[in-house]
């Protein structure tokens, strides 16, 4: 997660252990939150804390790069 948030970019603001979504199995679920101002992306993913954190940061970077280019083409 980033130390100095840029309010114009999406940032990973939380990665925490959680329960499996309804109908899913397993006990290695994490919830991650990506924010930009009032916009919030709230997701769940299986894995270790490290792999889910890396995934969330990758998603935030991808969204930011699309935003800089003007969206999907």
Tens-place pLDDT, residues 11-63: 999 999 999 999 999 999 999 999 999 999 999 999 999 999 999 999 999 99
Identify which of 22, 39, 21 has the alpha carbon closest to the alpha carbon of residue 30.
Answer: 21
Is residue 20 a contact partner of residue 29, using CB atoms and an 8 Å limit? yes
Local confidence band at 69 (pLDDT 50, 70, 90 cut-offs):
low
3-state secondary structure of 46: strand
């Amino acid at each position: 997660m980033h130390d100095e948030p840029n309010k114009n970019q999406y940032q990973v603001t939380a990665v925490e252990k959680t329960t499996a979504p309804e109908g899913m199995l397993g006990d290695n679920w994490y919830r991650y939150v990506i924010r930009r101002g009032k916009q919030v992306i709230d997701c769940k993913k299986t894995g270790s804390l490290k792999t889910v954190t890396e995934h969330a940061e990758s998603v935030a970077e991808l969204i930011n790069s699309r935003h800089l280019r003007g969206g999907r083409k």
